[in-house]
Amino acid sequence: MSWHIVSDTSCDLFTLEGVTDIAFSTVPFTIRVGDTEYIDDDNISVEEMLTANETHSESAQTACPSPEDWRVCFEKPGSVIAFTISSALSGSYNSACTAKTMVLEEDPEKEIIVIDSKATGPETVLIIRKACELIHQGKDAREIERELNETARKTHIVFALCSYRNLIKAGRVNRLIGFIAGHLGFWGIGIGSEEGEIDIRGKARGQKGMIRFLLEEIQKVGLAGKSIVISHCQNEEAAGELKKRLTEAFRDITVTILPTRGLDSYYAERHGLIVGF
């Protein structure tokens, strides 16, 4: 049986590194800044998009993949596992489910699994890695769907942002909290709730304080497994320092560092970190 993994571009992945027997593709979000539309594909200039957003007076807008975008991928050969950003943050999950219904009307025997990650970025990477593991173990579609939903419930996400401008504009965080976090050199520290929403945990002054706060938060919550993924928006230095602190704090773990793709760059903003664990 052949498998095809599809994700919206909130996952921060372009390929499945080290995996050659499972097809992988992504369905892009779009970010509109003024009259310019940035498609979150391989050709997006994250730097250009960030700069345009930072200098443009009007609020940027994001749009999730349409059902038709998903349908095109679902019709490709093989059984499909699709991953979306948290349904509490976007309509991408609903679009994917609509596409699944469209495809099954034409091909009722097609196996399509749609997983609401209840997260974004690095946590979705962990769930996708679990999907590859289950496929290689020979699990059937029903077992895979059950175990992936369980993994989504067990894994966690925490983030540190030095600007909450875009999340405030999108109504994702309280304006006062975002204002305080974004001034006087403070970083805002948040975590994804069980419902896939954003909860603010506190603030830290300076990058060293931010890394210390993140480490304490991860230690308090606890690891779901032995893998941690750090996505960063143009802040490889802080990501590397956090990796160093994590490997000192936890034994026998694997830490992967990834740059954010367009969507997560837009919400994390410049220098932001997102950690899945």
Domain residue limits, the chain = 3-29+64-154, 157-276
Which pair of structure tokens corresponds to residue 97?
């489910």
Please choose, from the candidates 264, 51, 270, 54, the residue with its C-alpha nearest in 3D space to the C-alpha of residue 157.
264
pLDDT (tens digit, 9 = 90+) per residue, 36-45?
A: 999 999 999 9
Alpha helix (H) ranges present in 7-120?
46-55, 67-74, 92-106
Give the pLDDT of residue 147: 98
Residue with tokens 């994700």: 7
pLDDT (tens digit, 9 = 90+) per residue, 62-93?
A: 999 999 999 999 999 999 999 999 999 999 99
Give the pLDDT of residue 196: 76
Is 272:232 a contact under the CB 8 Å cutoff?
Answer: yes
Give the pLDDT of residue 184: 57
Give the pLDDT of residue 174: 57
In this predicted structure, the answer to whether residue 58 has a pLDDT above a threshold of 90 is: no
pTM of the model: 0.92
- Whether domain 3-29+64-154 has CATH 3.40.50.10440: the reply is yes
pLDDT (tens digit, 9 = 90+) per residue, 185-244?
A: 688 898 888 887 777 788 898 999 999 999 999 999 999 999 999 999 999 999 999 999
Residue with tokens 């219904």: 101
- The string of DSSP codes covering 196-258 is S-EEEEEEEEHHHHHHHHHHHHHHHH--SSSEEEEEESS-HHHHHHHHHHHHHHSTT-EEEEE
Fold of 157-276: Hypothetical Protein Tm841; Chain: A;domain 3 (3.30.1180)
